[in-house]
Structure 1
Amino acid sequence: MDKYITSKSPRVRSETASTSMDRSNEVSKCPNDLGMLTTFPAQPQTGIQFPKNSSGRKFSPMWYARFPWLEYSVERDAAFCYACRHFVPDSSFNYDNFAVKGYNGWKRALGDKNKGLELHSHAASHIDAMSKWEERKRRTSSRSTVKELVSNNVYERRHYYVRAIAEVIYFLAVNELSFRGDYDKIAHSESGILPICLVLWHRGTNIYRI
């Protein structure tokens, strides 16, 4: 009967919370030399001595090109999946070697779709994690683009106003005109020439024709 316990069962909620806690504990045990969520997969290539295992096989950095999600931990001499470590759903988390413990069965890493890297790349939870990773990259790229556009717009506006003030001040100085009058309100007849010139400049009027 336990197999058919509904989602409202206290036992199921307890087991779900326990699973999430277990996952957090397992993930915290991952090596420290793997890629963080805000960076990229850890893919060391040069200056690394990849040790051979008992079968005389070792990790090959050439696998990165075929499996962009693949990352290697020098600390543990094991392969991990960047996407599954960060994006695999809790409900699908099954303590996969590529997400927590690390994989080092180099002899079976390639050549068989039912083993090693090929098997992992076709797993449903991995495909879902890859989709979430791609979505995050798109959103991050969009935010960067928007931020860049906003920054450029702010720069252009500041440049516009600085140029306006500089040209108006130059105009007033050359013509020996007073910068301000007795009133601060632009609409007042005795507000001075400076604010009036700024308004005209903003409207595209050539102040040298005044």
Structure 2
Amino acid sequence: MDLFISEPVSTAKKIKYPAQVTANGKLKRSFNASYYGKHPWLEYSVQDDSVYCFYCRHFGGTSNLPGQRYGSRPFIDVGVRRWKDISNFIEKHTRSDRHKDSAVSLMKFKAIQTKELQPIASVLMTDRDNEIKENREHVKALLKVTALLGRLGTAFRGHDKTESSTNKGNFVETCNLLAD
């Protein structure tokens, strides 16, 4: 798969699609290129004479969601070639949760590629860096309180650290004062 997806899905519009003879031997059915207009996600495989879903094949993940017949194997790795029922298969697939999720994943991927969105790794690193800076500030404040109490020769702890106590000790009280 190309890592920069800027082109529309590859379609085979200018070929003569092979026809399948129906069970009664009279009617011949084949894929119709008009489906590309309504469903830009369709991919036709000349080799398999089948259609696939570009979104689901590349952005659908590997898990099989329960009850997602139309959102899993046929359009992902088996291919659909029952031309008689292709409209129904396509419509059901379009409404499947997997297809919708895959379409959203593709849009997010494109947004990251065009710098409209930041990659999640960048967002996580920024958040982590901010958290580290904030924690360092807290540690600096605790060290300043410790240094002050040490310089003054003052006791750190009090006799009663219960929630109802009015004096929990110099260290805790000073930290609470700075926190407010």
**TM tier relative to shorter chain:** 0.5 to 0.7
The question of 1:54 aligning with 2:27 is answered: no
Note the alpha carbon deviations across 1:58-94, whole angstroms, 9 max, x for none: 1111111101110100111100000000111333367
- Per the alignment, do residues 140 and 77 of structure 1 end up closer, same or farther by CA in structure 2, a change over 3 Å counting? same
Aligned equivalents of 1:38, 1:72: Cα separation in 2:
21
What is aligned with 2:47?
75
TM-score for both structures, normalised by structure 2: 0.52
Greater relative contact order (CA < 8 Å, ≥ 6 in sequence)? 2
SS where residue 114 of structure 2 aligns? helix
Corresponding residue pairs, total: 104
Give the aligned partner of residue 42 of structure 1: 10
- Give the Cα separation in 1 of the matches to 2:29 and 2:2: 28
Which sections of structure 2, spanning at least 5 residues, go unmatched? Answer: 23-27, 117-180
Q: Give the RMSD, CA atoms, in angstroms.
A: 2.0
Partners of 1:43 and 1:64 in 2: how far apart?
A: 8
1:100 is aligned, of 64, 73, 77, to: 77
Distance 1:61 1:123 in 2: 22
Q: CA deviation at 1:140?
A: 1.5
Instruction: Name the TM-score, length of structure 1 as normaliser.
Output: 0.45
Closer, same or farther in 2 for the Cα pair 1:121/1:61, shift >3 Å? Answer: same
Identity %: 28
**Whole-angstrom CA distance in 2 between matches of 1:89 and 1:116:** 20
Asked if residue 117 in structure 1 is aligned to residue 94 in structure 2, the reply is no
Amino acid at match of 2:32: S
